[in-house]
Structure 1
């Protein structure tokens, strides 16, 4: 296989997955590790990808505006979200007053709640999250506002005002994109406003983001990278750890 053919296949795989390890690329291209590493070095030199420890990721700054439905997002990165969810649930104590943001990663966290975490008190703007918390006999509060059908999240001025009445010990947030220069972002400005309001009222903030979300930028800014910690299955670029706390579940 010619080098340019390998380059095209590598970039196609990254376009689909956002990140890939050297081992994944070796298996996909049926090529040796030394060949793949040389290809990654050359593509990095050309600015077509970022070579990171153990693999590669697309360059930061890919601007997106799409918003998959809740059902569509639940079928993506399932195992990654599960490992993040279990780690997040383990951070919650019985005495915590917790904000749970709408989203599939945070919904996976609610599914994983057990033991003392079930005794904590919760506020969430996610309809599915509130239902599941109630089924687990947790104390749960829903803010008022408008329901956004695509993400099943409560948004709007009433929701922002309601959140200003609380002080959270911990907030577990979702984002569509995480980028060093743009921070945490999402497609919808009203949803971003609710997320930002919750962050301002929380003492400890965790964004639950699988590795496919790194390097993506969406129109609405939630917060700067340094305003919150990141809980992820795998961080594709160690530079993120220089800007905020990053906790990985795949170590």
Structure 2
């Protein structure tokens, strides 16, 4: 089955829009096929996409991509509004970043550096974009590459803007990650970019995780869908982080 093969090539999970482009069919056709394959037990359907069924099917990315989709789409639109044609960007493996990659298809001449299978596939060979997919160890549950090789390769680039996701945002320590490899890569990326942005939906303000990302004072922009609480807002102000809140969720 072509759709199952496409899911394997995309790391085990994907949004319907990604699958439609890869298979050169309509999203409606993809949705119908996913529904049939879900009933047959070949894939597992989530809102907006699917992931391969099996003992390791409940990937981290598949779970995250199905959560807070409306908010992530609003945030992605704000990210795209900040990006200019021809910029050199880094995009990570985050689910909100995946929505941003979709929005960035309207831009042209981008130099995109990414460790995300999905972001690379979304933006490559489109509107004159040049996509550099970082090598390293592939972690299929995150649909991306990590580790020493990944970090060494990203250091070769002079980026205009890096767009990071996170698993939590602490008023004391800044952005937090469940994965030490993801946290380490985020710290390296922060050293290679002129401007550092974080794109997360507001539920992450209440989440915690054990690994620290870049120094919060290094962050320039927070793209989100709802104003942070007083404690985090005060911390952001002290760090010099500007908050860009998507319309419709400002209170």
TM-score (norm 2): 0.69
Could you say what secondary structure the match of 1:217 adopts?
Answer: coil
Q: Give the aligned partner of residue 247 of structure 1.
A: 244
- Residues 105-140 of structure 1: per-residue CA shift (max 9 Å, x gap): 01100111244x222111000011101111535210
Provide the rounded CA distance (Å) in 2 between the counterparts of 1:149 and 1:133: 20
**1:195/1:222 contact within 8 Å kept:** yes
- Residues 66-109 of structure 1: per-residue CA shift (max 9 Å, x gap): x9611111110101000000110111112311111111101100
Aligned pairs (5 A) from 1:98-177: 98-115=89-106, 117-134=107-124, 136-137=126-127, 138-177=129-168
Q: Give the aligned partner of residue 235 of structure 1.
A: 227
Provide the rounded CA distance (Å) in 2 between the counterparts of 1:215 and 1:109: 22
Provide the rounded CA distance (Å) in 1 between the counterparts of 2:176 and 2:59: 15
Provide the rounded CA distance (Å) in 2 between the counterparts of 1:240 and 1:80: 23
The one of 191, 203, 224 aligned to 1:200: 191
TM-score (norm 1): 0.69
Larger radius of gyration: 1
Q: CA RMSD in A?
A: 1.7
1:149, distance to aligned residue in structure 2 (A): 1.4
Could you say what secondary structure the match of 1:151 adopts?
Answer: coil
Could you say what secondary structure the match of 2:169 adopts?
Answer: strand
Does residue 180 (structure 1) correspond to residue 171 (structure 2)? The answer is: yes
By relative contact order (CA 8 Å, sep 6+), the higher-ranking structure is 1
Provide the rounded CA distance (Å) in 1 between the counterparts of 2:182 and 2:112: 19
**1:211/1:236 contact within 8 Å kept:** yes
Alignment CA distance shift 1:68-1:232 (3 Å): farther
Q: How many residues align?
A: 184
Runs ≥4 in structure 1, deviation > 3 angstroms? none
Could you say what secondary structure the match of 2:131 adopts?
Answer: strand
**2:105/2:123 contact within 8 Å kept:** no
Structure 2: segments with no counterpart, 5+ residues:
1-57
Alignment CA distance shift 1:114-1:134 (3 Å): closer
Provide the rounded CA distance (Å) in 2 between the counterparts of 1:173 and 1:218: 16
**In terms of mean alpha carbon deviation, does 237-246 or 153-162 score higher?**
237-246
